[in-house]
Amino acid sequence: MIGRRHPAFARTDHRPWALPKRPWAWRQSWRELLFVHWPVPAAVLRPLVPAGLEVQEFDGTSWVGVVPFRMEGVMRRPFPDLPGVSAFPELNVRLYVEADGKPGVWFLSLDAANPLAVWAARRFLHLPYYLADIAMERKGDDLTFASQRRGAPERFEATYGPTGPDEEAVAGTFEHWLTERYCLYAATPNGRLLRNEVHHAPWPLQPAYAYLEPNTLLAGFGIDVGPGRPHVRYAEGVDVVVWDAEVVSSAG
């Protein structure tokens, strides 16, 4: 997969800004994703985000997302996949932020069942990964996902699946605002704010059902989503390339 022959580059017209001119560094695929979102006031989330980032809002509120899914094909370019290393289930808690006019994702936590991936992501990407015991199973269109963080109370369980055909989100809609984001932000131990550009085809979103067990992922951040029904969508997946991090100029 040399140059732009990676399948992620089959579409580029949907991007909100131009592709980076430098070579991409990592490849991966995100599969069988559930997007679960709750409205949370931006003032509640502001203390959880570095000063160099703006907490974004949609329709007068910010949102917190929980995303269980399966990673595969994870490897740095140009190396091949490694059995037992390149594929594993993962669970993300994410917020929606912006710097320098580029909306992206800020991760509060990432749980994965792969010790090497957890170590590497913490060491080289400065992302808050945690090792977890995760069981993920698919039967037809129905998926079950259960994660328990090692040595900690954080737990998440869900049964979910699609309930209709997929379609691309229309610009200006809530679904587009949530999912069509082409960078992630992280912070180094010495306070530098970093941005990793990413690219993939538009998300093939589907209406979905989700049965959520009581979970403790958000409690440690002081986030209470209450009893209201979350917004849920399903996606079968996308192929992704990731660029090495760059320092955000507005980090302060």
Q: What is the 3-state secondary structure (H, E, C) of the chain?
A: CCCCCCHHHHCCCCCCCCCCCCCCCEEEEEEEEEEEEEEECHHHHHHHCCCCCEECCECCEEEEEEEEEEEEEEEECCCCCCCCCCCEEEEEEEEEEEECCEEEEEEEEEEECCHHHHHHHHHHHCCCEEEEEEEEEEECCEEEEEEEECCCCCEEEEEEEECCCCECCCCCCHHHHHHCCCEEEEECCCCCEEEEEEECCCCCEEEEEEEECCCCCCHHHCCCCCCCCCEEEEEEEEEEEECCCEECCCCC
Cα–Cα distance for residue pair 238/7, rounded to 1 Å = 9
Q: What is the pLDDT of residue 124?
A: 87
Average pLDDT over residues 182-189: 96
Cis ω before 78 (30° cut-off from 0) = yes
Residue 55 has a CB neighbour count (10 Å cut-off) of 21
pLDDT of amino acid 5: 81
Instruction: Identify the burial level of 134 via C-beta atoms within 10 angstroms of its C-beta, where 0-12 means exposed, 13-18 middle and 19 or more buried.
Output: buried
Which pLDDT does position 4 carry in this prediction? Answer: 55
- Between strands 193-199 and 246-247, the pairing is antiparallel
Asked if residue 130 has pLDDT above 60, the reply is yes
For residue 219, pLDDT beyond 90: yes
pLDDT tens for each residue of 14-58: 999 999 999 999 999 999 999 999 999 999 999 999 999 999 999
Residue 1 banded pLDDT, cuts 50, 70, 90: very low
Print burial letters for 213-245: b (CB count within 10 Å at least 16), e (below 16).
Answer: eebebbeebebeeeeeebbbbbbebbbbbbbbb
Q: Which domains does the chain have, with CATH numbers?
A: 7-16+24-247 (2.40.400.10)
